[in-house]
Amino acid sequence: MPSRILIVQGHPDPEPGHFGVALANAYADGAREAAHDVRVLEIGRLDFPILRSKREWEDSAPVECIRRAQADIQWSQHLVFCYPLWLGAMPALLKGFLEQIARPGFAVPARDDREHRKLLHGRSARIVVTMGMPALVYRWYFGAHSLKSLERNVLGFCGIGPIRESLVGMVENLSPSKRQQWLQRLRRCGRQAR
């Protein structure tokens, strides 16, 4: 059965030459080949403010591009986040986007909601992270702390799951054949909507 997939391209640079963009495109191509409905959201092309206080997060209205992004997330059944690892974590612009998105009443319960419902329950996700170091070093030596935080403290807290990962290490030094292997792998994931 076809799924509704939202791909969140989390690279802050909107230029198309990044390998993470190619991976996201491969996923989208595979998903479309399997007749899934795909939308792509490019964080680097959005213009939104950074939240600076709890009051802003709880009480200010999101800007139009954030409202549209929330509508896309509401529409989706599966989310794909693609981003580069910068200083051991996601880029600040992607983090700022998630803070804007995950507002009370949309992704997390409103202040007066005593049930603590997970408002984005029923959606699955894949996280695709590119990095300069070997993926095993990030996972085992550094503990993949930022990835675990995204999975548990953002996506899981909102009810999104299961969450799968694709960690692409040594991205600047990948041979053409390794790049093709990764592109094919993401294309297969797209076909399967997982």
DSSP states of the chain:
---EEEEEE--S---TTSHHHHHHHHHHHHHHHTT-EEEEEEGGG---PPP-SHHHHHHSPPPHHHHHHHHHHHH-SEEEEEEE-BTTB--HHHHHHHHHHS-BTTTB--TT-TT---TTTT-EEEEEEE-SS-HHIIIIISTTHHHHHIIIIIIIHHT---EEEEEE-SGGG--HHHHHHHHHHHHHHHHHT-
Task: Give, for all 194 residues of the chain, the pLDDT tens digit.
Answer: 789 999 999 999 999 899 999 999 999 999 999 999 999 999 999 999 999 999 999 999 999 999 999 999 999 999 999 999 999 999 999 999 999 999 998 988 877 766 667 899 999 999 999 999 999 999 999 999 999 999 999 999 999 999 999 999 999 999 999 999 999 999 999 999 99
What is the CATH classification number for the domain harbouring 76?
A: 3.40.50.360
Q: How many domains does the chain have?
A: 1
Domain of 176 in residue numbering reads as: 4-192
Provide the pLDDT for residue 118.
85
Provide the pLDDT for residue 116.
67
Provide the pLDDT for residue 102.
93
Provide the pLDDT for residue 113.
67
Provide the pLDDT for residue 115.
65
